[in-house]
């Protein structure tokens, strides 16, 4: 396995189910050290983007992302 530029200590990925206000699942997001993946509810496959592409997109004006204080 190739050495990655970014790593988690443990686990190898973080996965969370996203639900609406009624509790209905709308999808799953999976975050890895090298990528972010999204799978809509009832979908079979994930759509994946590299961390570098995600960073480029999220800080671009087209993403319309807002800065927040955690």
In tens, the pLDDT along 27-66 reads 999 999 899 999 999 999 999 999 999 999 999 999 999 9
Q: Is 30 inside a domain boundary?
A: yes
What's residue 45's pLDDT?
97
Predicted pLDDT of residue 1 = 59
Short-list 27, 3, 1, CA closest to 15:
27
49, HSE (Cβ side, Cα atoms, 13 Å): 11
Per-residue confidence (pLDDT) for residue 58, from 0 to 100:
96
CA 63 and chain centroid, separation = 15
**Tally of domains within the chain:** 1
Residue 67 falls within a domain, yes or no?
Answer: no
Domain range holding 25? 14-60
Do the beta carbons of residue 2 and residue 47 sit within 8 Å?
no
The per-residue pLDDT for range 4-23, each reduced to its tens digit, is 787 767 778 899 999 999 99
In the block, residue with structure tokens 């809509």: 40
Q: Is residue 28 part of a domain?
A: yes
Residue 54 belongs to some domain of the structure: yes
């Amino acid at each position: 396995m190739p050495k990655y530029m970014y790593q988690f200590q443990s686990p190898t990925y973080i996965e969370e189910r996203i639900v609406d206000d009624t509790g209905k699942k709308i999808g799953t997001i999976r975050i890895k050290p090298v990528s972010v993946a999204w799978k809509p509810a009832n979908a079979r496959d994930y759509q994946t983007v590299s961390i570098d592409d995600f960073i480029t997109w999220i800080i671009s004006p087209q993403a319309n992302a807002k800065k927040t204080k955690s």
